[in-house]
Amino acid sequence: RWQTPSKQVSDALRAELATGLEQGEAGKKLSERVKAIFAGERASLIAQTEASRAMHAGQLLAAQESGIVSGLEWLASADACPLCLTLDGQTAKLGEPFHTVPGRGIYSDVWHPPAHPACMCTVSEVFA
């Protein structure tokens, strides 16, 4: 079952990840920041997932500001889950999500990868 963290935990995690990403940190360093909030292996999973989310959000923002990109195409990873396999090759116009999963709070609309924790999918720009 999908669980949305408390606002306090979400805010603390967001602040730590933002600081780390602004400083160019990745992988192990981001995991260390997350471990200050979560214990164990979950910290690495969260760091990996949120670093991917930040990178893809930046890619979406760049696409929106480009003036020449009309959408994004989902590219499933080699070990993709059933959800990501259904999204593979689909194109979402800018401003439209690839998929909506009711009940996941701020993660209900899937605008770009990751679609779930540990998602290794990516997107490619579609030009007008």
**pTM, entire model:** 0.72
The SS3 call for residue 2 is coil
What secondary structure, in 3-state letters, does 49-116 show?
HHHHHHHHHHHHHHHHHHCCEEEEEEECCCCCCHHHHHHCCCEEECCCCCEECCCCHHHCEECCCCCC
Q: Which residues contact 75 (CB under 8 A, 6 or more apart)?
A: 88, 89, 121, 122, 123, 124
pLDDT digits over 10-44, tens only? Answer: 788 778 878 888 888 877 787 777 777 766 667 77
Q: What is the pLDDT of residue 1?
A: 37
- Report the mean per-residue pLDDT for the chain: 86
Q: What is the pLDDT of residue 6?
A: 67
Average pLDDT (73-92) is 96
Q: How far is CA 32 from the centre of its chain?
A: 19
Q: What is the pLDDT of residue 5?
A: 58
Phi/psi-derived region of residue 99, left when phi > 0, alpha when psi is between -120 and 50, beta in every other case: beta
Q: What percent of the chain has pLDDT over 70?
A: 92
d(CA 10, CA 17): 10
Structure tokens at 126: 């579609």
Contact 37, 13 (CB under 8 A): yes
